Amino acid sequence: MNLYRLVRPVLHLVSPEAAHDLSLAALAWGLGPRFQAPEDPALAVTLWGKRFANPLGLAAGFDKNARVIGPMMDLGFGFVEVGTITPRPQPGNPKPRLFRLDEDHGIINRLGFNSAGAEACAARLETWRRGGRPGILGVNIGKNKQSLDAAADYGEGARRLGAYADYLVVNVSSPNTPGLRDLQAAAELDELLDAVAEALSGLDHPPPVVVKISPDLSDQALGDITALAAAGRMDGLMIANTTTDRPQGLRGRDRFEEGGLSGRPLFAPATRVLAACWRATVGKVVLIGVGGIGSAEDAYAKIRAGASLVALYSALVFEGPALIPRIVAGLGRLLRDDGFTTISEAVGADHR
């Protein structure tokens, strides 16, 4: 029996943010499920010298403050990403700020980087690392809303949190912090990356740096970013964050709320940008596909479009944690149906 199908109606009686907080509390209390399916060697991915048991991860946004790393690893993810974490604590935008579009399997959020701050999260990450449990951990960093020096904020986030990260994500693409997306411009992004690199330079093993971009970029802006990536200014691109666009056909009551749209409606535009990044970088930059994944077929489509790793979050709201082992098992089947023996062989297959 899928327990989530029994619990979901109860969670949907309260506000989306309250339901999310209840889910986090339940996981922290040890009430989450554990899925321990046999590992499929065909799904293992090695990137940046690190081995991912499978290519499916938890996207940032679910565990903003690094509270439930272990319970999320136990769901069968190949990696878990926490954040977005800002240098200093901040409450985010006024409530309500999270909206379910049930008919569309979509979410609109204008949370605004609500964060416990780097110091509190560093303490939790250190505890996790001391525990010695296996699992690839990504740490997603951003700037404080009131900060006047974005580069300093990203540098501080990298300095404080980089030692705990298997990879570090520079989030410059949320639509919910004023001016943040402007940091995707080539000159500003270059400055940020310099600050992050300097902050990480003291580490014996600095983590790879990935930049998370918007699906709403102009062709020119996307070209500038992929040129930086191809030149080695970052170790990967994560594609994509939420969109401010509202596609035709949305039916949810709250579809015109301000904020970033994620979930099923984001799948097509995010995958188009992913494919464009693959073509622009000739497959030589690590790409992580995010946005709208709700099935094994969705995840596999992003892999064929160029993603070496994929991640989800919004689909958990509608499908629950049993979705994770279903996707992982389905990826193995789809891979073999196409005659591939490893995930790496399938990456970018649509372009060959």
Catalytic center residues: 174
Give the DSSP letter string of 51-72: EESSSEEEPTTSSTTSS-HHHH
Which residues lie below 8 Å from residue 63, measured CB to CB, with a gap of 6+? 24, 69, 72, 80, 82
Per DSSP bridges, beta strands 106-109 and 260-263 are: antiparallel
CB-facing half-sphere around the CA of 307: CA atoms within 13 A: 26
Helix (H) or strand (E) run with residue 106 in it:
strand 106-109
- For the chain, counts of helices (H) and of strands (E): 12, 13
Helix (H) or strand (E) run with residue 20 in it:
helix 16-28
Measured distance CA(47)–CA(96) in Å, rounded? 39
Q: Measuring CA to CA, which residue among 288, 294, 245, 285 is closest to residue 267?
A: 294
